[in-house]
Amino acid sequence: MVKPLRDLQRAWAEHEERHRPTGFDFALSDSVDYLDGAAWDGIVERGSFFLQRRYLRVLERYGPANLKSRSCLVFKNRAPIAAIALQSIRVSGENVVSRRSVASGALSRLSVRAVVCGNVLSWGRHGVAFARGVDPSKAWPAVAEALYRLRRAERLEGQTDVVIVKDLFDGEAEGVESLARFSYKPLETEPNMILAISPQWRGYQDYLAALHSKYRKSAVRIERDLSGAGCSVERLDDVRSNSGELHELYLQVQAAAAVRPVAIHKDYLAAVAEAAAKDFICSVVRRRDRILGFVTTLRDDPNTAIGYLIGFDRALRDELPLYFALLQRVVADAMELGCRRISLGRTALEPKAKLGARPVATRVWARHSNPMVNVAVKRLIGAIPHDSPPERNPFRDPESVE
């Protein structure tokens, strides 16, 4: 009886902890500009672009129609110790799962309101930053309370069904296990595909030279096929003037995705380009005066580039290798930005593995508000396809890019 009694005592202690203040102070705001800018910047400096005020302003103005952005500063003894980017979002099964999916039908009628620590328009730990010297294991409870406070505030607009902390990669979320005391459960998603850029590579041609001949020939053939079809791959400096065309190409890809909880605003991409400035590159496949596809590469932190938004003419996918050419361009653009690794996201694992990207386990931590919704959300998440990462070894010397 000793272990059951111990488990009961721990469960009661955690229940008590969930229902009392953590001892931190909070400034929760509808806009990051309503908070102390110097305090925010001091915490997020040299961190993720998606936590910078210049980006959060873009999200507040050009975020998806079903998403509201919030910002929170956490204080301990009047000193700022954490900056948290929060989102409130309502999605339905119809938004999340495509009609072609086996999950369509009953799930298409499911509607869920979620509070998110992170960014549904990106991947990575873009929800929270801790000040230097702060012990994350002692600060994560403050994140749990901030999410609770937002959930309570959002009751004016409806019941919150699920609270999510996303996306936490292995080795990059020290102390996050403390969320378990607040009824959060870890859920593994598809892995994030990471391509390490060897210090020995001075440019894209060095990357190609590092590939096995099979993969190098494939990359060269893709470039040759585009050139033979009268296409060029080039940098697009004026995103704003071409934003309408780029948005249409993005929507073609987004509409075909199995998981699509949000869609970007038509001016979002141009606003991100202007906010990121020299940390952003947009490359396009062009045939004469027409853009057939685009991809954006964004420096998220000093060492990491993200192969971010992509779009292409899906009617041409059997005629031209647009997607593969754009993926290859991300490698070149990330090297131009001076990054040491590329985060390529959790979709299309096979072509990214052929580039040399390797899977990194990714989890979200979720807390559901009641058992009935818990079952529905589990069904919805279970319906989302989770492919196993393929095993590929495209480099002649894999150890050189560890």
For the segment 186-202, what is each residue's pLDDT rounded down to a tens digit?
A: 988 889 999 999 999 99
| Higher per-residue pLDDT: 74 or 16 | 74
Q: What is the pLDDT of residue 91?
A: 80
Whether the per-residue pLDDT at 383 is higher than 90: the answer is no
Closest listed residue to residue 180, CA positions, set 137, 122, 231, 125? 137
pLDDT digits (tens, 9 = 90+) for 91-115: 876 665 554 444 445 555 667 889 9
Q: Residue 267's pLDDT is what?
A: 97
Distance CA 22, CA 137 (A): 13
Contact yes or no for 87/67 (Cβ under 8 A): yes
Query: Helix 53-62 and helix 37-44: axis angle, to 10°?
Result: 110
Q: What is the pLDDT of residue 201?
A: 95
According to CATH, where is 3.40.630.30 located in the chain?
Answer: 2-190+361-383, 194-360+393-401
Predicted confidence band of residue 12 (pLDDT cuts 50, 70, 90): very low
State yes or no: pLDDT of 203 exceeds 90.
Answer: yes
Q: 364 versus 373: which is more confidently predicted?
A: 364
- C-beta of residue 363 within 8 angstroms of C-beta of residue 168: yes
CATH architecture of 2-190+361-383: 3-Layer(aba) Sandwich (3.40)
The tokens for 195 are: 């391509």
CATH of domain 194-360+393-401: 3.40.630.30
Q: For residue 382, what pLDDT is reported?
A: 45
Rounded to whole angstroms, the Cα distance separating 219 from 200 reads: 20
Cα(58)–Cα(35) distance, rounded to whole angstroms?
16
Q: What contacts 383, CB < 8 A, 6 or more positions away?
A: 97, 101, 102, 103, 107
Token pair of 375 as six digits: 């079952």
Question: Per 3-state DSSP, what percentage of the chain is helix, strand, and coil (rounded to 5)?
Answer: 45, 30, 30
pLDDT score of 225: 96
Interacting residues of 291 by C-beta distance below 8 A, sequence separation 6+: 236, 242, 245, 246, 249, 284, 285
Tokens of 47: 């961190």
| pLDDT confidence of residue 98 | 52
Structure tokens that stand for 387 in this block: 């492919």
pLDDT digits (tens, 9 = 90+) for 108-151: 566 788 999 999 999 999 999 999 999 999 999 999 999 999 99
pLDDT at 308 over 70: yes
Of 402 and 222, which is predicted with more confidence? 222
Say whether pLDDT at 38 is over 60: yes
Whole-prediction pTM = 0.88
Q: Which region among 7-16, 67-76, 203-212, 289-298 has the lowest average model confidence (pLDDT)?
A: 7-16
Task: Encode pLDDT of 271-280 as tens digits.
Answer: 999 999 999 9
